[in-house]
């Protein structure tokens, strides 16, 4: 992170969903170290409060922990208001809550797509796609008023490749995410708001991701993704909007993915 120390986020407010773990938690730590006020949002109340308290200990007064199911728009709006009321602006929105439905809902991979209850796919589209649209919608009201802001949506290499089980996840993290990102970038450009999507390949937020092959022969360290979020959120990316960046160790171009 040393090279980013010049990217000072002092006085900026960075919101992230999924902040109880993984890349969102690491982002909260990084952005707080870079001077930002961080708003950590997760459905897991105990975990997000515990992790926020750890960051708050090093950055008193600069951390807000909020509980929210990203499927609940009223709660999403309340989170945006709470962030604005606490810190006076919403400068960066990082949409990291989510995951593949079979893993997140403990569905057996023995169940094929037509045999898996439809609720499972409803959950996945609601969390992985609509949850991002909901937060984008809620924060862009504030960003429009302040005439600045950066929204980072999260896709996945799985959206590029398809997946015979996690059909909802693949659907949400694919062209739908690109359409959402491009549409909001078009709208946001006239209001000083940039909107981008980052689509990771395998990231070692859990050991199992090491099993997904890349031409580079490894999965990403989570910091490699967070470094990209910081760069995209900074003014060094001031002319970057409406794009989807694959950060996947070359998996998308690999001939052998097995
Ligand atoms: N780890 C990878 O290899 C990888 C690859 C591609 C894309 N992604 C995507 O990046 C994002 C972050 O991945 P990660 O591995 O860091 O995450 P993670 O699995 O460590 O954490 C996800 C967080 O989302 C929260 N969450 C789940 N449902 C929620 C809901 N309804 N409302 C609010 N919070 C909810 C969970 O409580 C958890 O804290 C996810 O969207 C994931 O799909 C990850």
- Give per-residue pLDDT as tens, 100-116: 999 999 999 999 999 99
Domain annotation covers residue 47: yes
203-212 mean pLDDT: 95
Domain annotation covers residue 38: yes
Ligand 1 pocket member 97 (CB < 6 A): yes
Domain annotation covers residue 258: no
Domain annotation covers residue 232: yes
Ligand 1 centroid to residue 144 C-alpha, Å: 27
Residue 239 belongs to domain with CATH number: 3.40.50.720
Q: Range of 45's domain?
A: 9-249
Nearest-atom number in ligand 1 for the CA of 97 is: 24
Domain annotation covers residue 174: yes
What secondary structure letter does DSSP report for 208?
Answer: G
CB 178 within 8 A of CB 244: yes
Residue 25 CA from chain centroid, whole number:
11
- Of 90, 88, 69, the C-alpha closest to 148 is 90
Domain annotation covers residue 88: yes
CB 70 within 8 A of CB 134: yes
- Number of folded domains that form the chain: 1
- How far apart (Å, rounded) are the C-alpha atoms in residues 36 and 30? 9
Ligand 1 pocket member 249 (CB < 6 A): no
CB 15 within 8 A of CB 83: yes
**pLDDT of res. 209:** 95
Nearest-atom number in ligand 1 for the CA of 71 is: 31
102 flagged as catalytic:
no
184-212 mean pLDDT: 97
Whether pLDDT at 241 is above 80 = yes
Domain annotation covers residue 61: yes
């Amino acid at each position: 992170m040393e090279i980013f120390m010049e990217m000072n986020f002092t006085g900026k407010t960075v919101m992230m969903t999924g902040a109880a773990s993984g890349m969102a938690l690491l982002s909260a730590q990084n952005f707080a170290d870079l001077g930002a006020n961080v708003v950590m949002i997760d459905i897991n109340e105990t975990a997000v409060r515990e992790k926020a308290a750890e960051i708050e200990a090093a950055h008193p007064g600069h951390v807000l922990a909020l509980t929210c199911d990203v499927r609940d728009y009223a709660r999403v709006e309340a989170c945006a208001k709470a962030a604005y009321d606490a810190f006076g602006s919403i400068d960066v929105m990082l949409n990291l809550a989510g995951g593949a439905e079979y893993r997140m809902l403990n569905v057996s991979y023995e169940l094929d797509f037509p045999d898996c209850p439809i609720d499972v796919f409803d959950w996945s589209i609601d969390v992985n796609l609509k949850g991002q649209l909901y937060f984008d919608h809620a924060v862009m009201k504030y960003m429009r008023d302040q005439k600045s802001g950066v929204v980072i949506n999260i896709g996945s290499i799985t959206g590029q490749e398809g997946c015979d089980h996690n059909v909802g996840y693949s659907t949400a993290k694919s062209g739908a995410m690109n359409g959402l990102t491009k549409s909001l970038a078009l709208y946001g450009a006239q209001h000083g708001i940039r909107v981008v999507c980052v689509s990771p390949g395998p990231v070692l937020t859990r050991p199992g991701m090491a099993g997904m092959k890349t031409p580079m022969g490894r999965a990403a360290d989570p910091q490699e993704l967070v470094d990209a979020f910081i760069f995209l959120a900074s003014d060094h990316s001031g002319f970057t909007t409406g794009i989807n960046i694959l950060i996947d160790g070359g998996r998308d171009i690999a001939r052998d993915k097995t």
